[in-house]
A = this chain, B = another copy of it.
């Protein structure tokens, strides 16, 4: 018997919202999704079979992961699934209904690392499904995405294992760790995408009202997040400042010069240092300093240009001050163009739904998205893809403490995608 067997889209979404799990910590989410999908007759690849483990980016420490798994266990994640996941979140569910084309849907499952509002006028708080996990909140709608994924799976799979009007194979990609761009790359490097002929990714909200469907978001900025740690040697700043190797001098020089990476003649570039930390007493030469850097580019090449400059700058700053430096990629996304044919399928599907009042064509994405890696993998293998926007009249902006999703949008999301896939 599955936890979600008797729950509708709203019930599932609210349960996920209440148990918000941030990137790489989606143990309960993955386990319950897998349990329900297997109940529906899908084969489910889990954890190390759903993402390439060593390609995971921005991984929390082992302690943090173990605590998250324990938390999931206590909150009802079935042990059998946790065991199969082997400490790694993410799932790919597959079911074949005939010899037709292979179609895929990608949804993301992770919450944001932020606290949720407890105000009375915040519905999740008022109705008791606000996040019970401090510092983790579904403030971007991925809870709805996951519910939509389950809803799509249900539409295709009736009790006797056939699906009217669809004779192909359906693959559902439940991607972990989208925030920061950490889970898309390792999922894209499995071979699950190689035979996908049509991939649809989706997002609710994005400032569109309920009833609007955007057939093809595209051109997100490519993005890379680089964690940097400078390590020097402490010394007494009064007695022997010369004996120190000052990690903070290196960090400051790096920051100033990172912002000065030359603009590029070919298009948009961005650079930012969001976080810096160096904690010593005032009279101690700084032994350690950490930075969190982000670069972006209008194309993947521009992003690589920025990333390679950023790496050279932190290396040069370290060598200048005789300190060591280590870097690790926290996250990375690329960019994509949606395919006309895929967008048209969505447009026609949406136009046929009563609940849809407006169908919008291609739109620039603005931010960054690691569905980009999955989409490009499909396109490189000869398939087509699009990234669909499902309007939702939300009460507050994405990523805020008051974010909540118009739950009507979920039904529209399920129906639009199901129709598009069936008509392929």
Q: What is A's interface to B at a CB cutoff of 8 Å? A: 180, 221, 223, 225, 237-244, 246, 248-249, 251-253, 255-257, 259-260, 262-266, 268-286, 289, 292-294, 296, 305, 312-313, 315-322, 330, 366-368
A248 touches B242 (CB 8 A): no
Task: Give, as a whole number of angstroms, the nearest-CB distance from A358 to chain B.
Answer: 24
Closest 7 CB pairs of A and B: A316-B320, A259-B260, A237-B272, A282-B294, A240-B265, A274-B282, A252-B255
Q: Judge whether A320 and B317 touch: CB under 8 Å.
A: yes
B274 touches A284 (CB 8 A): yes
**Main SS of the interface on chain A?**
mixed
Write out the residue numbers on chain B whose beta carbons fall within 8 Å of the beta carbon of A282. Answer: 180, 225, 272-275, 292-294, 330
Contact status B319-A270, CB under 8 Å = no
* Chain B contacts for A296, CB-based, 8 A: 237-238
Known: A248-B273, A276-B248. A221 touches B242 (CB 8 A): no
Give the chain B neighbours of A271 by CB distance below 8 A. 237, 263
A319 touches B315 (CB 8 A): yes
A294-B305 contact given A243-B265, A265-B239, A277-B277, CB 8 Å threshold = no
Nearest neighbor of A266 in chain B, beta-carbon distance: B242
List 6 A–B pairs whose Cβ atoms lie within 8 Å, in order of A's numbering.
A240-B264, A241-B265, A246-B262, A272-B285, A316-B320, A320-B320
Task: List the B side residues contacting A280 at CB < 8 Å.
Answer: 274-275
Which residues from chain B contact A276 at a C-beta distance below 8 Å?
A: 248, 251, 276-278, 286, 289
- In Å, the complex CA distance between A271 and B242 comes to 12
For A257, list chain B residues within 8 Å (CB).
Answer: 249, 253, 256, 260, 320-321
Contact B259 A244 (CB under 8 A): no
A367 CB to closest chain B CB (Å) equals 6
Contacts of A248 in B (CB 8 A): 255, 273, 276
Which residue of chain B lies nearest to A220 when distances are taken between CB atoms in the complex? Answer: B238
Given A282-B272, A312-B322, A241-B260 contact (CB < 8 Å): no
| Bound CA span A289–B277, Å | 10
- Please give the distance in Å from A410's CB to the nearest CB on chain B: 27
Are the CB atoms of A259 and B249 closer together than 8 Å? Answer: yes
Which residue of A282, A294, A317 has the most chain B CB atoms within 10 A of its CB atom? A282
Report whether A221 and B241 are in contact in the complex, using a CB–CB cutoff of 8 Å. no
